[in-house]
């Protein structure tokens, strides 16, 4: 299993970022107030019926406070908790003598059926929490009726009386448990079960893509419980070394050590090794004593330089690299020595290492010119070069250029620009490649937008913009738009209090109230759906659809007259029962000078193109 790639996809089941808010209690004239500074208004709310003299804020979490009688969370008294025994375990867990509670989304949620006696809750930011007490091992199951239910993940035969958590420094998740007899590996795997029954507010914002993580705990075969411990991210005992649930063969656990920060290169007294995708491999002829990390990607010994390829999990010798003078360029897989520059372990021909300068991830330069991914950008002035607008264009003192890769070279083409552009002050507007401005004007595709105000202009889409004076489609102002009530919809549709617009045209057939853009080919007015087409002259045609049950996800326009979804075929907006919607399609002629609309039964239309 590709555990490194897999763990990047693993999701937090119930630990939500943002559960703990920056907050505070305020004492004022024998009253206590709670101020939630995460709220925009920072509303001050009184904490009612509190004993002022014995009031105390919990150091572990300043959302909580207590007095002699009660526990408070923010401005509310917590019901059904024992004030004398209540304590905060960590940012997400609290407990009293009877129960354990989970802190999330401004609520204190009881974990049903989980005894606090000899309990430990391991919160993990990429995988589900693990809960351990004298009775068993559990993880979260469901949220129902205001409580969290749990399910057992305890393996058969584990001895709870001698159970230990085997933890290591800076571990992102718990991987091992042990008892007096055995060591156990905790495997986290994606489940096909949807999180439909877990009601967690803002789960999507926390990176939840609707999949649970299942936990399976299995005996780690041949591991010695007495001597087993974690060294870096590896498990080891007196006899063996382990990565996850696999024994690493032929590596001496007594002399084993990790080389470098990515923890994927190791060595012992017999050799240097790396973790490949499926197994541990030895780096042939590596010098053990001098082997060291240069960066997360590059390593060296006294004789050679090595590149660790994260993509395929392999270590490759960098051919021709000089180990003594080799150094990396911070942040990327670039390196250089006295003779050459290297990218991802491969020599870049023609670059001068002495004058080499990394500009960003894709661009660099030397005394000879500017390069894109190792290919010379001919005709660019290196001294004034600057990447421009999400790297779709570049500029120098002489102009703006587009570029694209063709085989093993980069083709650079100068862009026709407005003669009024001031190249020194020209900058993109936000992250739009379409819009830019200089000290004097606003531009769309480097052509001046007449009358646009540089201080207030904002792109609203890829071809719609507005300022304090008006709304613009590409380079021209759209007449008659009320700026104060302007609302951009999507796909070049917008409206104001009076009208609906598409690009630079007012659409007389629609009213702004209850108008909606469904997708690229469908709009809606009240309960009526329309599909629209646009020809090469920008003439639009809106066709009302007879059916009220159009399947939007599968709706497809074939031409001005024909359309379909998974349920029906349509001719000029009306349900066309004669045609088979599954096989109805547009079929172009071999020479692309026309097409046919047909299904499995017959041809309905033949169109010849000029």
pLDDT in tens, 548-602: 889 988 999 999 899 999 999 999 999 999 999 999 999 988 777 889 999 999 9
Q: What is the pTM of this model?
A: 0.66
Please check whether residue 214 is in contact with residue 248, taking contact to mean a CB–CB distance below 8 angstroms. no
What's the rounded Cα separation, in Å, for the pair 311 and 315? 11
Residue 388, SS3? strand
Residue 162, classed as helix, strand or coil, is helix
Q: What is the mean pLDDT of residues 53-61?
A: 92
d(CA 326, CA 307) in angstroms, rounded, equals: 12
Average the pLDDT over 297-302 and give the result. Answer: 96
Residue 13 scores a pLDDT above 80: no
Beta strands 515-517 and 493-495, pairing class: unpaired
Q: What is the pLDDT of residues 27-55, one digit of tens each?
A: 887 789 998 766 555 678 899 989 988 99
Q: Is 160 helix (H, G, I), strand (E, B) or coil?
A: helix
Report the pLDDT value the prediction gives residue 9, as an integer from 0 to 100: 34
How are beta strands 386-388 and 375-376 bridged, if at all?
Answer: unpaired
Across 259-281, average pLDDT: 91
What residues does 541 pair with on adjacent strands?
533
In our burial notation (b when 16+ CB lie closer than 10 A, e otherwise), range 534-560 reads eeeeeeeeebebbeeebeeeebbbbee
Higher pLDDT, 239 or 373: 239
pLDDT of residue 577: 93
Pairing of strands 305-309, 314-317: antiparallel
Q: Does residue 498 surpass a pLDDT of 70?
A: yes
| Between 362 and 219, residue with greater pLDDT | 219
User: Given pLDDT bands bounded at 50, 70 and 90, which one contains residue 403?
Assistant: very high
pLDDT at 311: 85
Which pLDDT does position 18 carry in this prediction? 31
| Cα–Cα nearest to 341, from 310, 312, 320 | 320
pLDDT tens sequence across 439-487: 999 999 999 999 999 999 999 989 999 999 999 999 999 999 999 999 9
Q: What are residue 531's phi and psi, to 5 degrees? A: -105, 155
Task: Say which residue, 504 or 333, is predicted with more confidence.
Answer: 504
Interatomic CA distance for residues 293 and 485, integer angstroms: 60
CA distance 470 to 458: 11
Euclidean distance between CA atoms 576 and 557, whole angstroms: 14
Name the token pair of 79. Answer: 């019901």
Task: Give the H/E segment covering residue 5.
Answer: helix 3-9
* Distance of alpha carbon 37 from alpha carbon 135, whole angstroms: 41
- Residues near 215 by Cβ (< 8 Å), separated by ≥ 6? 127, 128, 130, 139, 153, 186, 187, 188
Cβ neighbours around 485 below 10 Å, total: 11
pLDDT one-digit tens code per residue, 505-521:
999 999 999 999 998 88
Cβ(64)–Cβ(71) below 8 Å: yes
Q: Which residue has the tokens 């660790």?
A: 308
- Residue pair 326/300 in contact by the 8 Å Cβ criterion: yes
Lowest-confidence pick of 124-133, 189-198, 250-259, 577-586: 189-198
Question: Minimum mean pLDDT among 245-259, 377-391, 452-466: which range?
Answer: 377-391
427-428/147-152 β-pairing: unpaired
In whole angstroms, what is the distance from residue 392 CA to residue 374 CA?
Answer: 17
CA pair distance 607, 610, nearest whole angstrom: 10
Percent of the chain with pLDDT over 90: 70
Average pLDDT of the chain? 88
SS3 552: helix
């Amino acid at each position: 299993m590709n555990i490194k790639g897999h763990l990047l996809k693993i999701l937090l089941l119930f630990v939500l970022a943002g559960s703990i808010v920056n907050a505070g209690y305020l004492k004022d004239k024998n009253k206590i107030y709670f101020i939630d500074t995460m709220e925009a208004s920072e509303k001050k709310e009184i904490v009612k019926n509190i004993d002022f003299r014995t009031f105390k804020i919990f150091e572990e979490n300043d959302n909580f406070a207590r007095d002699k009688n009660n526990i408070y969370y923010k401005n509310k008294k917590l019901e059904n908790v024992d004030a004398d025994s209540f304590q905060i375990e960590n940012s997400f867990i609290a407990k009293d003598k009877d129960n354990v509670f989970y802190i999330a989304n401004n609520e204190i949620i009881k974990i049903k059926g989980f005894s606090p006696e000899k309990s430990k809750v391991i919160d993990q930011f990429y995988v589900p929490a693990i809960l351990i007490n004298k009775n068993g091992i559990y993880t979260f199951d469901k949220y129902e009726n205001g409580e969290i239910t749990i399910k057992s993940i305890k393996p058969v035969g584990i001895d709870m009386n001698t159970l230990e958590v085997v933890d290591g420094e800076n571990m992102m998740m718990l991987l091992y448990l042990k008892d007096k007899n055995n060591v156990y590996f905790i495997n986290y795997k994606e489940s096909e079960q949807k999180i439909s029954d877990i009601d967690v507010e803002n789960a999507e914002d926390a990176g939840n893509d609707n999949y649970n993580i299942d936990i399976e705990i299995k005996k780690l075969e041949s591991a010695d419980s007495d001597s087993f411990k974690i060294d870096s991210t590896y498990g080891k005992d007196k006899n063996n070394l382990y990565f996850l649930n696999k024994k690493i063969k032929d590596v001496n656990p007594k002399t084993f050590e990790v080389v470098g920060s990515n923890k994927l290169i190791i060595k012992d007294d017999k050799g240097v090794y790396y973790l490949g995708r499926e197994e541990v491999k030895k780096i042939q002829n590596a010098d053990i004593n001098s082997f060291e990390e240069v960066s997360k990607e590059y390593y060296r010994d006294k004789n050679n330089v090595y590149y660790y390829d994260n993509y395929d999990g392999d270590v490759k010798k960098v051919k021709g690299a000089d180990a003594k003078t080799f150094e990396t360029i911070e942040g990327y897989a670039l390196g250089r020595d006295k003779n050459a520059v290297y990218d991802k372990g491969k020599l870049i021909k023609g670059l001068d290492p002495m004058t080499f300068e990394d500009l960003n991830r894709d661009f660099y330069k030397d005394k000879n010119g500017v390069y894109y991914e190792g290919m010379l950008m001919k005709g660019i002035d290196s001294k004034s070069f600057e990447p421009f607008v999400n790297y779709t264009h570049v500029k120098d003192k002489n102009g703006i250029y587009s570029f694209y890769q063709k085989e093993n070279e980069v083709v650079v083409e100068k862009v026709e620009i407005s003669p009024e552009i001031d190249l020194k002050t020209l900058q993109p507007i936000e992250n739009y490649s379409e819009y830019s401005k200089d000290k004097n004007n606003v531009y769309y595709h480097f052509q001046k937008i007449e009358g646009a105000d540089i201080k207030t202009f904002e792109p609203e889409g890829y071809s719609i913009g507005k300022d304090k004076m008006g709304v613009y489609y590409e380079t021209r102002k759209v007449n008659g738009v009320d700026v104060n009530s302007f609302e951009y919809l999507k796909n070049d549709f917008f409206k104001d209090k009076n009208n609906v617009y598409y690009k630079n045209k007012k659409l007389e057939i629609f009213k702004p109230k209850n108008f909606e853009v469904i997708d690229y080919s469908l709009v809606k007015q009240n309960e009526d759906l329309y599909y629209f087409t646009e020809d090469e002259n920008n003439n639009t045609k809106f066709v009302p659809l007879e059916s009220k049950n159009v399947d939007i996800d599968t709706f497809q326009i074939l031409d001005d007259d024909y359309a379909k979804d998974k349920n029906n075929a349509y001719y000029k907006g009306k349900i066309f029962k004669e045609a088979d919607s599954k096989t109805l399609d547009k079929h172009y002629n071999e020479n692309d000078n026309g097409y046919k609309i047909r299904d499995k039964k017959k041809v309905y239309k033949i169109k010849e193109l000029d």
